[in-house]
C-alpha cells in the first residue's frame, strides 16, 4: 500500500472521537475366530475404558494409522477391548499410577514453589508423564525438578524445548480503546479487516492518525503494541476520515467482531447503509446500541468551514475518545465514527434523540484497498 497525503488537523467544536454405536454382543457360532464388532466412536470407547477401570487402563490415543487405541495393563483387559471391536495395546503403567505422579508434581512444585517455563501431564501414547522444560528455567530449579522426577523411573520422561511459555495472544476487536503513545491520542478501533492473502489490518478514524509522530498504535488496556499506520486521510482532498493500521505484533489475536456494553457481535461483511435502518455504535468511552440511519450519504460542515461529503448520519450520541469506533447492523460493518454534536460533558445513552453522529463509510475504504471484513 502507498502512504497517502494528509492535511493538518482542523480545529472544531463538533466533538471528535474514535465441539462402538452400541455394540451387540458377538453371536456364538462354530467359527474359531469370529469377526469383532465394528469399531465404534470415541464416546463408546471412553465408556468401555471407564467400565474396565483406571487401575487397568492407561488412557486412549490415536496411533500413526489414525486408529483409536486403548492402553491396558493386562491381556484380559485387552481381550475385552478387542471383543468390542476396539484396538488394544498392553502397557506397563495404569492411568491411576501416572495420575499419582502428576498429582505429586502438582503438590510438591506447582502448589508450593512453581517453576516458570515448565509443564507436565499424562501422555497415554508414551504411557508416561511427560515433563517439558522450556528456556528460562534456572539451574537450581532444573535440578529441583529432575531430582524429584528421578524417583519415578520410567513413569516420567523429561523433554527440553526451546522458547519460553507466554500468553498466546492479546485480544483485539472493534470497539476497544487504542492509543498512539507519542500523542497521546486516544481513539477506538473500528473493524479488523484483511487482504486477499490474509494479512491483518484494522481501520479507525483518519484524524486519529494524522500526525507524523502517531504512526505506532497500542491497545489502551495494557499498552500492547498492535502495529503501524499504512494509509490515512484526515479530512483530505476526498473529504474522507479513515486510517488503515497494519498489525505487526504476532502475539495479537485480531477477531472479526465488535465488543460493546459487555457483549460481542460477530462481523462478517461490509456494505453501505440503508436509510432508516436500525444500527449500533460502539466506542472506547461510550456505546449506543439503539439508533437509526438518518441519512446514508450526508454532507456536513464543521465550524471551521471544512466540508465532509458522503458521510453517514445516525441518531446516536458519542463521546470524545469514541473516534474511529464501529457502526454496524447485524453482521455487517457500516462505518467509522468521525464526529458528533454530543456535548463533551453530556450523558450518552439510547434514550436520547437530539444527538447526531457522523461516520466514514467503511465499505468505501475496504473496496479502495482490496480489504474485507472478517
Counting residues of the chain whose pLDDT is more than 70, the rounded percentage is: 83
pLDDT at 346: 86
pLDDT at 182: 64
Catalytic one of 141, 241, 288, 322: 241
pLDDT at 323: 94
| pLDDT tens-digit series, residues 347-364 | 887 777 789 999 999 999
SS3 86: coil
Does residue 25 surpass a pLDDT of 80? Answer: no
Helices and strands, number each (H, E), in the chain? 5, 25
Does residue 339 surpass a pLDDT of 90? Answer: yes
Instruction: Indicate the pairing of strand 332-340 with strand 269-270.
Output: parallel
pLDDT-derived band of residue 28, with 50, 70 and 90 as boundaries?
very low
Does residue 97 surpass a pLDDT of 80? Answer: yes
Does residue 9 surpass a pLDDT of 90? Answer: no
Average pLDDT, the chain: 83
The topology under which CATH files domain 95-160 is: GMP Synthetase; Chain A, domain 3 (3.30.300)
Does residue 214 surpass a pLDDT of 70? Answer: no
Using left for φ > 0, alpha for ψ between -120 and 50, and beta otherwise, residue 198 falls in: left
Catalytic one of 234, 323, 332, 338: 323
pLDDT at 235: 57
pLDDT-derived band of residue 212, with 50, 70 and 90 as boundaries?
low
Other Cβ atoms less than 10 A from the Cβ of 5: the count is: 9
Does residue 60 surpass a pLDDT of 70? Answer: yes
241 is a catalytic site residue: yes
pLDDT at 17: 41
More confident residue, 94 or 232: 94
Determine the average pLDDT of the residues in 108-127: 91
Does residue 340 surpass a pLDDT of 60? Answer: yes
Counting residues of the chain whose pLDDT is more than 90, the rounded percentage is: 57
Domain segments of the chain as ranges: 95-160, 170-373
Considering only CA atoms, which of 306, 350, 315 is closest in space to residue 14? 306
Q: Cα(289)–Cα(109) distance, rounded to whole angstroms?
A: 49
Q: Cα(6)–Cα(3) distance, rounded to whole angstroms?
A: 9
CATH number 2.40.10.10 given to 170-373: yes
pLDDT-derived band of residue 27, with 50, 70 and 90 as boundaries?
very low
Catalytic one of 207, 218, 270, 288: 207
Q: Grid coordinates standing for 152? A: 519415578
Lowest mean pLDDT among 48-62, 243-257, 281-295, 343-357: 343-357
Q: How far is CA 74 from CA 38, 45, 46, 101, 127, in A?
A: 22, 17, 18, 21, 14
Lowest mean pLDDT among 28-37, 111-120, 131-140, 304-313: 28-37
Does residue 31 surpass a pLDDT of 70? Answer: no
CB 203 within 8 A of CB 217: no
Considering only CA atoms, which of 284, 286, 277 is closest in space to residue 174? 284
Other Cβ atoms less than 10 A from the Cβ of 275: the count is: 10
Alpha-carbon torsion 293, 295, 298, 301, what sign?
negative
Lowest mean pLDDT among 136-140, 213-217, 258-262, 263-267: 213-217
Q: How far is CA 59 from CA 89, 97, 153, 154, 358, in A?
A: 10, 12, 20, 17, 60
Does residue 225 surpass a pLDDT of 70? Answer: yes
Q: How far is CA 320 from CA 185, 248, 313, 325, in A?
A: 11, 27, 17, 11
pLDDT-derived band of residue 224, with 50, 70 and 90 as boundaries?
confident
Determine the average pLDDT of the residues in 285-292: 94
pLDDT at 4: 36
pLDDT at 250: 84
pLDDT at 237: 55
SS3 270: strand
Amino acid at each position: 500500500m502507498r502512504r497517502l497525503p494528509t492535511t493538518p488537523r482542523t480545529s472544531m467544536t463538533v466533538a471528535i472521537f474514535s465441539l462402538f454405536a452400541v455394540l451387540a454382543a458377538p453371536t456364538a457360532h462354530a467359527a474359531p475366530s469370529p469377526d469383532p464388532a465394528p469399531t465404534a466412536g470415541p464416546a463408546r470407547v471412553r465408556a468401555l475404558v471407564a467400565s474396565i477401570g483406571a487401575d487397568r487402563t492407561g488412557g486412549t490415543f490415536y496411533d500413526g494409522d489414525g486408529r483409536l487405541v486403548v492402553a491396558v495393563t493386562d491381556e484380559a483387559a485387552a481381550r475385552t477391548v478387542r471383543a468390542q471391536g476396539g484396538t488394544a495395546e498392553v502397557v506397563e503403567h495404569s492411568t491411576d499410577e501416572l495420575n499419582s505422579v502428576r498429582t505429586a508434581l502438582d503438590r510438591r512444585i506447582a502448589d508450593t514453589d512453581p517453576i516458570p517455563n515448565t509443564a507436565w501431564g499424562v501422555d497415554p501414547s508414551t504411557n508416561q508423564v511427560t515433563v517439558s522444560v522450556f528456556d528460562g528455567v534456572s539451574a537450581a530449579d532444573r535440578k529441583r525438578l529432575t531430582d524429584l522426577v528421578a524417583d519415578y523411573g520410567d513413569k516420567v520422561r523429561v523433554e527440553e524445548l526451546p522458547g519460553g511459555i507466554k500468553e498466546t495472544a492479546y485480544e483485539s476487536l472493534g470497539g476497544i480503546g487504542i492509543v498512539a503513545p507519542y500523542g497521546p491520542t486516544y481513539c477506538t478501533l473500528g473493524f479488523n479487516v484483511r487482504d486477499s492473502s490474509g494479512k491483518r489490518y484494522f481501520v479507525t478514524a483518519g484524524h486519529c492518525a494524522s500526525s507524523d509522530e502517531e504512526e505506532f498504535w497500542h491497545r489502551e488496556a495494557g499498552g500492547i503494541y498492535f502495529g503501524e499506520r499504512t494509509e490515512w486521510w484526515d479530512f483530505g482532498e476526498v473529504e474522507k476520515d479513515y486510517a488503515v493500521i497494519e498489525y505487526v505484533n504476532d502475539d495479537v489475536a485480531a477477531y472479526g467482531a465488535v465488543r460493546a456494553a459487555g457483549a460481542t457481535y460477530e462481523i462478517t461483511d461490509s456494505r453501505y447503509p440503508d436509510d432508516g435502518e436500525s444500527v449500533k455504535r460502539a466506542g472506547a468511552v461510550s456505546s449506543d446500541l439503539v439508533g437509526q440511519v438518518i441519512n446514508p450519504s450526508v454532507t456536513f460542515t464543521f465550524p471551521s468551514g471544512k466540508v465532509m461529503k458522503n458521510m453517514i448520519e445516525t441518531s446516536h450520541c458519542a463521546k470524545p475518545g469514541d473516534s474511529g469506533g464501529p457502526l454496524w447492523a447485524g453482521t455487517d460493518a457500516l462505518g467509522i465514527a468521525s464526529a458528533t454534536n454530543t456535548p463533551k460533558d453530556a450523558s450518552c445513552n439510547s434514550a436520547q434523540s437530539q444527538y447526531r453522529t457522523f461516520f466514514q463509510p467503511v465499505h468505501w475504504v475496504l473496496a479502495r484497498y482490496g480489504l474485507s471484513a472478517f
